[in-house]
Amino acid sequence: MSNRFAIPKEGLIDQLVEEFLLLHRNGAAPAIHEFAAEHPEVADEICELFPILLKLEESREEGDSSSGAHVPEQSSEFPLQIPDYRLIREIGRGGMGIVYEAEQLTLRRRVALKVLPESLHRNPKHRQRFLREARSAARLHHSSIVPVLDVGDRECGCYYAMQLIHGLGLNELIRELQPGSADSGALNGEFVRAVIARRHDDGPESLGLTGTASAAQRIGLQSCGAAADDGTVIADAGGSAAAAQHEDDLSDTFQLDDESERAANSGGIQPSTADLSTADTSPGFHRPQLVPGGRRCSPVGFWKSVAGIMSEAARGIHYAHCQGVLHRDIKPANLILDHNGSTWVTDFGLARAVDEESITVTGDLLGTIRYMAPETFQGHFDCRTDVYSLGLTLYELALLRPAFQENRGNALLRHVMDGRITGPREVRKEIPFDLAVIIEKSTSYDPERRYATAADLADDLDRFQNDEPIQARPLSVPGRLLRWSRRNRRLAAAVSVITALLLIISVTAPAVAFHLATLNKSLETSKDELQTRNTKLVEAGALATRLAVQHQQESRRARRAEQQALSKRNEIARLNEQLDQHLYETEMLLAGTSLSEAGRITQIQLLTNHWLPEPGKHDRRGWEWYFLRGLCQKDVRSIPCSTFRPAESLAVSHNGRRIAIAAFGEEVHIDPLSDADAPSLILRGHRGRVLSVAWSPDDTLLATTGFDNTARIWDTATGILKATFQLEGWGNSVVWYPDGNRFVAAASPGEEAEKSRTGTVVAFDVKKERRLWQTTGEDSQSALCWNSAKDQLAVCGRHLRLLNAETGEGRVVRQEIGAPWIDWSPVDNVIAITDRAGTWTLIDPETGETRMAKEGHEQRISVIVWNPDGTRFATGSDDLLIRIWDSATGNLLATLDGHTGRVKSVCWTPDGKQLISGGTDAVRFWDVSDLSRYAHDVPQFADVAVNGCTFSPAGDRLAVPTNSDGLWILPRTAEGQPTRINVRSSFRAAWNPSGTQVAVITGETVRVFDAGSGEQLKVIENDFRDGAITVAWSPDSNLIAVGGYRGVCDIVHLDQEGHVTQLRNLNGGVSEVAFRPDGRRLAGATLNRLYIWDAATGEEVLSPLVYGSGFVNSVDWSPDGSQLAVGTSQQQICILDAKTGNVIHEMQGHSASVSVVRWSPDGSRIASVSEDRTVRLWNPKSQRQTLILRNDGLRPYDVAWSPDQQQLVVTFEKGMQVFRAEQGFDAVKQ
């Protein structure tokens, strides 16, 4: 013992480790605490290190006892025979199996086949671990994870097949990049192919080819780019076949000796057997140097290629984490770079699924020591453990050396446990700063300081590749001190002790001296007072006792009063909460009642503004608020106006870049529209309100007229007034000739003019600044429009007249129209006129006959304008609405509701995708490229009975069964194309979980169709003599439940052909069936009973009686499956406890039977359909209504929520409506 004191502490621990392990292997090892007592100078290190050494030693002994150190060598004749596989050659072996290159006979493809040897197959624990590896890898489907193609456990042994990957492990890659190695290539597929080709040049013997691989077989592998019949890339069996590599390291997983650790890090990837020599000789082929300072590749390119490789690996590992799988053995040997430059993650032999019990016991240590995170030695594993291993691999790939270079087992273990990592820039100063920061963050000793997920690590690596700022931040000075102290524990401890002592002395010494002096003075003074105080203390003690008793009594009374006050405050808060919630729901109902009223936007805005959330207060807004708010947010943007300065006229330039707005009294504003760089101008010069604006055909001039009896011409580039023309009255309207040199203005007498004066229409020449012609009318001339095809003008006042554009001569086409506005179709010879009663009329200008007329508004139509292609026209009215009409049919296409003042002007952009309207409140800009956002009704179902509706699981399509028009599959957006499936009367429909198929009830059968092509896939015919009523598809897609009349319900097992669970003699017809969200239960609504069955067996689980004489019409599960909503013929909606069937509460409000109930996706609302011809929304918590929807007295049939809860679709006996809340949600986000 005495000579050990001369040995350094590190050497002493190494010596004691060897001594203890030797005693343990000979069965004579003492207990750890006894061994520590014999060596008190290193007792703490022994107690910390030796238990871990014992676990590792026991794991190694277990592996040796069960399977030997290595799998025994197989003969070249392959004694194993695996059904459906022909073994070609052995390409790898390890402690847990042998990997062969094999051909799958049925599919005629090459695979890597991993086989558990017979000696290990007999051990249940090894067989279970082998199958767990297959399951862990098989559940993962990612472009960076080697896929498992097949797995089997037969008498011949356990095996599984994987895709054969052609490439190199990162450990081989690092070896290739070491100084003095062969010529290095860029970290991509070209580099991999070059390395493999160079190895192949050494001869087939160096590739590890066995005698079973014939020349023909080798030729079949010569093309690295060839693909098998199924499209899988064929790789060399000696390369990085998915399972070939990791077996080399598996047997060394628990070793601490130098030889096993070197094996774990040296890899074992065989060079390719493929003949890739052509890669070196083909034109343009080159090998850029990878190592910084090389001949061709810049250092930056090297670091970025390193980051790219590890980014792909990190994303693969993140995908595994998202699937609940931890890898637990990430190292360079288990990451493969294939010949295309893609990174693959392999060896899930130590992976563990989060949701399954691990094979190892608590505290087992798994993984290759050099790449294990410090916390794993305490048995803690999570996503950050794999991030640490990824960081160590990134460290080694970037610096071409391991993070822990110690080769002695116990020394390596101490370094790994302590996280003693030398900083990247201490090893290699030229490494980029950001990459060094990424490495330091991912290899942080504290898991909380690492990247939370592998995806975060991948994102930072991508940012480094793209020269973007990374999210990680360098270690602070305290952090670097902490790392330094881990590497230099003794020196750090000494420095800390000395510093603490110096600090204590420097701080406390003056205070102690002063305190001692003060105490000495106080001691002398206190001696005289001590006796007097003792006497007073006795008296004070008695008084204190009495006061204490009184205080306790008062404290008890105060506590009781405080509890009572708190109880009252809580009661008041609860009542205030109820009152606020009740007020919110009442105001939403009130806002909903104004949906059909003119001027509804003002009312809705007032009511919804009241419930905008305030800081610190509860946000009560539900779907109804966002829906109502969206009605007020349908315009894209707006410019405020006023009653005294309304938007009298609007005009968009012909190139669509700018807009002229006469909404600012005597000023005209020219603002950018589609071109943000276009100049903004303010035109000042009129002495009265501007009434009309018009752009010249080349957009260089703008004509304006107004109350000051003038027409003015402006330069639109500079805003300079070019010319002024006098009119004989107010200038109501102005239009340009097609040549851009002349214009026509219509004027009416002002209020101060003689009653005998009439309106005029005047033509002017702009260049010559002279009047061309003038004509008069019977009264004011309110509007002009141009027909360039016939060189004619139309002018309206008391009568509608057509004028010759050259002479001004004209004729009356139609008398006594009194039209406020007219417009000539740009494509057809038809004029649209308006009147003061809210009716628009289309007139043949040649005969004056009416082609079409419709009462479009409740009040005067002040403006009517055609869109550029003449297919639509827009009307603006004093009823605050703008409406868009189909010119061919006269059908209403959309109502733009957003103005809170009278609409006075409307114009289209040249592309017809935007409409601008002006009124007494604002100028509003509307996106009219998709009119569905402004309309609730779906046009194709205007006169069709729509029996039901249901959204696809993704929410991108809607299945709509109709009574006479077949089954429709409608896209949610206007870009998609609807699909119509021609079937006779369809009643209800249900989607499969993937959204690719839809089942629909057609009479007595249920038919299944392909949702994309409309092809019929299956017909379900059972005992539905009086017809089927309801259909539902289980969440796992294996079951279809069908309910019918006469108490019949069938559960069709799609995964078992011909197997049907028949439920008979139920209490009345089955009106609706619904699967619980997890698919394990099926609810069925019948006459007066609600059934709940086991979905797989059909066994009745619960059958509560809802109401004695009432019908149960509809049932729906809450999103979490804990409650059921039931609609009854008793005009009620019942909320039931799904476990007991007890009624939690009832909601009343409908005046007739409730036929349909549907929970919203977030469970906050219930939509109900009733025979009282209303659709109502309910808050199931407060049990009150929040919104009522109607459709002109039509009876609703069904209702459906979109999965994102932004749309509510209702079908009716005639038509279907879509109520959208998207604009409300978008407005809140903005």
Q: Is the pLDDT of residue 635 over 80?
A: no
Residues paired with residue 1102 on neighbouring β-strands, in sequence order = 1092
Specify the higher pLDDT residue, 505 or 321: 321
Distance from CA of residue 625 to its chain's centroid? 23
pLDDT tens digit sequence for 859-874: 999 999 999 999 999 9
Q: Is the pLDDT of residue 300 over 50?
A: yes
> Which helix (H) or strand (E) is 496 found in, with range?
helix 489-593
439-449: average pLDDT: 93
**Neighbour tally for 109: CB within 10 Å:** 20
CA 1112/CA 971 separation, integer angstroms: 33
510-533: average pLDDT: 79
CA 996/CA 1009 separation, integer angstroms: 9
Return the biggest CA–CA distance within the chain. 135
CA 1166/CA 1201 separation, integer angstroms: 10
Separation in Å, CA 191 to CA 196, 332, 338, 961, 1123: 9, 17, 10, 59, 61
Separation in Å, CA 607 to CA 585, 589, 901, 1226: 11, 10, 18, 19
Q: Would you state the pLDDT for residue 617?
A: 84
Q: How confident is the model at residue 476 (pLDDT cuts 50, 70, 90)?
A: low
For tokens 């009594």, the residue is: 553
Which residues does 1055 contact at the CB level (< 8 Å), separation at least 6?
1038
Q: Would you state the pLDDT for residue 332?
A: 94
Q: State the SS3 of 655-672.
A: CCCEEEEEEECCEEEEEE
CA 555/CA 100 separation, integer angstroms: 83
Specify the higher pLDDT residue, 359 or 806: 806
Q: Would you state the pLDDT for residue 4?
A: 38
Q: Is the pLDDT of residue 1087 over 50?
A: yes
| Short-list 474, 494, 475, 473, CA closest to 485 | 494
pLDDT tens digit sequence for 1066-1077: 877 899 999 999
**pLDDT above 70 as % of the chain:** 81
Q: Is the pLDDT of residue 661 over 90?
A: yes
CA 1166/CA 1159 separation, integer angstroms: 5
> Which helix (H) or strand (E) is 1212 found in, with range?
strand 1207-1212
Q: Would you state the pLDDT for residue 258?
A: 36
Dihedral sign for Cα 303, 304, 306, 310, please. positive
Lowest-confidence segment of 147-161, 717-731, 1129-1143, 1202-1216 by average pLDDT: 147-161
Q: Is the pLDDT of residue 785 over 70?
A: yes
CA 395/CA 389 separation, integer angstroms: 10
pLDDT tens digit sequence for 19-41: 777 777 776 667 777 777 777 87
Q: How confident is the model at residue 897 (pLDDT cuts 50, 70, 90)?
A: confident
**pLDDT above 90 as % of the chain:** 42
781-788: average pLDDT: 78
Report helix, strand or coil for 283: coil
- The CA-based angle 585-590-593, given to 5 degrees, is 130
Q: Is the pLDDT of residue 102 over 90?
A: yes
668-686: average pLDDT: 87
Q: Is the pLDDT of residue 674 over 80?
A: no
Q: Is the pLDDT of residue 924 over 70?
A: yes
499-505: average pLDDT: 76
Q: Would you state the pLDDT for residue 663?
A: 82
Q: Which two tokens stand for residue 319?
A: 């995908």
CA 927/CA 908 separation, integer angstroms: 10
| Short-list 927, 913, 906, 923, CA closest to 651 | 906
Q: Is the pLDDT of residue 1050 over 60?
A: yes
Q: Is the pLDDT of residue 291 over 50?
A: no
Q: How confident is the model at residue 698 (pLDDT cuts 50, 70, 90)?
A: very high
Long-range Cβ contact pairs of 891-896 (< 8 A, separation 24 or more): 891/939, 892/856, 893/931, 893/935, 893/939, 894/928, 894/931, 894/934, 894/935, 895/934, 895/935, 896/634, 896/635, 896/924, 896/926, 896/934
How many residues belong to the chain?
Answer: 1230
- The amino acid at residue 742 is R
Q: How confident is the model at residue 975 (pLDDT cuts 50, 70, 90)?
A: confident
Q: Which two tokens stand for residue 316?
A: 């693969």
Q: Is the pLDDT of residue 395 over 90?
A: yes
CA 250/CA 1180 separation, integer angstroms: 57
Q: Would you state the pLDDT for residue 74?
A: 47
878-886: average pLDDT: 91
Specify the higher pLDDT residue, 954 or 6: 954
Lowest-confidence segment of 273-287, 698-712, 984-998 by average pLDDT: 273-287
Kindly report the average pLDDT of the chain as a whole number: 81
Q: Is the pLDDT of residue 367 over 70?
A: no
Which residues does 847 contact at the CB level (< 8 Å), separation at least 6?
none
900-911: average pLDDT: 92
608-635: average pLDDT: 86
Give buried/exposed letters for 981-1019 (b at 16+ CB in 10 A, else e): bebebbbbbbbbeebebbbbbbeebbbbbebeebeeeee
pLDDT tens digit sequence for 1152-1175: 999 999 999 999 999 999 999 999
Q: Which two tokens stand for residue 865?
A: 């304008």
DSSP 449: G
Q: Is the pLDDT of residue 130 over 70?
A: yes
Q: Which two tokens stand for residue 172?
A: 């081989």
Cβ atoms 474, 440 nearer than 8 A = yes
Lowest-confidence segment of 96-105, 542-551, 704-713, 1018-1027 by average pLDDT: 1018-1027
Q: Which two tokens stand for residue 267?
A: 């890899």
Lowest-confidence segment of 427-436, 514-523, 918-927, 1174-1183 by average pLDDT: 514-523
Q: How confident is the model at residue 278 (pLDDT cuts 50, 70, 90)?
A: very low
Q: Is the pLDDT of residue 689 over 80?
A: yes
Q: Would you state the pLDDT for residue 993?
A: 96
Which residues does 314 contact at the CB level (< 8 Å), separation at least 6?
387, 390, 454, 455, 457, 458, 461
**Neighbour tally for 263: CB within 10 Å:** 18
pLDDT tens digit sequence for 179-238: 755 444 456 667 777 777 776 554 433 333 333 232 222 222 222 222 233 323 333 333
Q: Would you state the pLDDT for residue 57?
A: 66
Q: Is the pLDDT of residue 280 over 70?
A: no
1093-1100: average pLDDT: 92
Lowest-confidence segment of 31-45, 219-233, 660-674, 914-928 by average pLDDT: 219-233
Q: How confident is the model at residue 78 (pLDDT cuts 50, 70, 90)?
A: low
Q: Would you state the pLDDT for residue 885?
A: 94
CA 895/CA 904 separation, integer angstroms: 16
Q: Is the pLDDT of residue 355 over 80?
A: no
CA 248/CA 268 separation, integer angstroms: 6
Q: Would you state the pLDDT for residue 200?
A: 55
Specify the higher pLDDT residue, 560 or 597: 560
Q: How confident is the model at residue 1210 (pLDDT cuts 50, 70, 90)?
A: very high
- Residue 465 phi/psi, 5-degree rounding, is -60, -40
Q: Is the pLDDT of residue 491 over 70?
A: no
Specify the higher pLDDT residue, 304 or 1229: 304
Name the burial class of residue 1200, with classes exposed (0-12), middle (13-18) and buried (19+) by CB atoms within 10 angstroms of its CB.
buried
CA 333/CA 168 separation, integer angstroms: 9
Q: Would you state the pLDDT for residue 478?
A: 62
> Which helix (H) or strand (E) is 17 found in, with range?
helix 9-25
- The CA-based angle 603-604-609, given to 5 degrees, is 105
Q: How confident is the model at residue 1195 (pLDDT cuts 50, 70, 90)?
A: very high
CA 836/CA 833 separation, integer angstroms: 11
Separation in Å, CA 809 to CA 282, 741, 774, 797, 798: 84, 20, 9, 16, 17
For tokens 């219509």, the residue is: 746
Lowest-confidence segment of 308-322, 501-515, 582-596, 890-904 by average pLDDT: 501-515
DSSP 107: T
Cβ atoms 826, 868 nearer than 8 A = yes
